[in-house]
Chains A and B, each alone.
Chain A
Amino acid sequence: MYKSWWKIMGSVLVIYTTIGGLLLGVPRLAILNETIRNLYFHVPMWFGMLTLFSISVWYSIKYLLSTNQTDDLKAVESVNVGIVFSLLGLVTGSIWAKFTWGQYWSFDVKQNFTAIAILLYFAYLVLRNSIDEEQKRAKISAIYNIFAFPMMVVLIMVLPRLQDSLHPGNGGNPGFNSYDLDSRMRAVLYPAFLGWSIIGYWIYTIRFRIRSLEIKDNS
């Protein structure tokens, strides 16, 4: 029981932010109105994704140093869960965009660059599938993973800041972290970052254990 305290904490945080995010008070802003609540569900997805992709890079580096197969398994499973989080982030963003920008997909720079970043990780999975030999697959995909990670960071953190975008925080649009985000929103948003990251990590550990059992059964 004492070992699962973080799972309980993650669940409590996510339940709190879901209920609190829908019910607690938010500032009233033109155009945004109640859609501002999407902040609690959209931004934490990117936090969860970044956490999982960082875990994946960490285990890829560890694999290159140790050549231990479990490290490779951890790297690929965290990428799998990270991709789910990134797709959820894209979907929550599109739904929000439908109500504020008028279209699900308006080819905004933020949307395009995120889509390319996801392609990067699909390429990682394609690369894995193209190699049969286990050791070789683990090594080459670990190298690609480490090589691609800085590019992913440039894509979603640096490049959108250089161009005009409709996205809050870009191209002269007020960001949520300036005057809009009052203390009431912070009380929900920051726990949501932590909670969703923990839930992502939890899903990843479960997937990792399932895969290890499958491999044990097969061998």
Chain B
Amino acid sequence: MQFANEVKYLLYKEILLEWRSKYAINGMLLYVVSTIFVCFISFVTMENKITWNALFWIIMLFAAINGVSKSFLQESKGRQLYSYIIASPAAIILAKTIYNILMMVILTTIALGVYIIVFSYSPSDFLLFYIAVILGSLSFSTIFTMVSAIATKAGNGGMLMAVLSFPLIIPVLIVLIKLSKNAIDGLDRSVSLDEIGILLLINVMTVTASLILFPYLWKD
């Protein structure tokens, strides 16, 4: 019970801090929307739906890597020490992960809306595509939160973050692109159950590993 309370308070703290400055979410939104516009200006029309799909995931990947890596890199040493005193490390990583998931779900939903309007194309099975988008923001958040914790502890954030997280995220991205391509082609939904299962499995695995490993990571 105490653990649940800690997670709740830490989550509340994260959301409150974000609400005061609105820096991360607005920054990421601006980043995503301007990237979409740059793509629109360079492509103008997109006949090939595979390109449409791949471009969306590339934009989302870089938005996620920029946004989620902030969760640990940006926090000051003093504030980190303070939260370590008042809460258990597992609660800290869980709260951060949940916060990142919420942020990514909001961001990807808005980005998807803008993307669909700008390129004036909507996938034929929109619900399945949206499920893929939700699963994507879930997997990006769980994996990048833990990797950003590792990169922050190692000292030089930016470059390490990319080196460490790309090999981990590529398998997820491959499954995501396959799933969303099924949605674009309008295949029967039972075909995509395998991919959804694997993505959920990877997420459960990642969250379990983070909960077990993070307590070892934070103590110096």
Contact = CB atoms under 8 A, between A and B. Distances in A.
Interface of A: 64, 113, 116-117, 119-120, 123, 126-127, 130-131, 136, 139-140, 143-144, 146-148, 150-151, 154-155, 158-159, 162-163
A127 B160 contact: yes
B216 A162 contact: no
Nearest to A132: B155
B163 A162 contact: no
Contact of A127 (B154, B194, B195, B198): B154
Nearest to B160: A130
A130 B171 contact: no
A155 B171 contact: yes
B58 interface: no
A155 B163 CA distance: 17
What's the dominant secondary structure at chain A's contact region?
helix
A47 to B, nearest CB: 21
Contacts of B216: 64, 139, 143
Contacts, number: 77
Nearest to A147: B209
A140 B178 CA distance: 33
B170 interface: yes
A123 B167 contact: yes
Contact of B167 (A116, A131, A146): A116
A159 B217 contact: no
Interface in B167-185: 167-168, 170-171, 174-175, 178
A162 B171 contact: no
A123 B154 CA distance: 13
17 contacts: A120-B167, A123-B163, A126-B163, A143-B217, A146-B213, A147-B146, A147-B168, A147-B209, A148-B167, A150-B205, A150-B209, A151-B167, A154-B202, A159-B171, A159-B175, A162-B175, A162-B195
Q: Which 8 A-B pairs have the closest CB atoms?
A: A120-B167, A119-B167, A143-B213, A64-B216, A155-B171, A116-B170, A123-B163, A123-B164
Contact of B150 (A144, A150, A154, A159): A144
Query: B153, B171, B202, B213: which has the most chain A beta carbons within 10 Å?
Result: B171
B155 A131 contact: yes
A48 to B, nearest CB: 21
B215 to A, nearest CB: 10
Nearest to A120: B167
A130 B158 CA distance: 12
Nearest to A162: B194
Given A140-B150, A150-B209, A162 B198 contact: yes
A175 to B, nearest CB: 19
B48 interface: no
B217 A140 contact: yes
Contacts of A126: 160, 163
B156 interface: yes
Nearest to B205: A150
A158 B202 CA distance: 11
Contacts of B171: 113, 116, 151, 154-155, 159
Nearest to A150: B205
Nearest to B209: A147
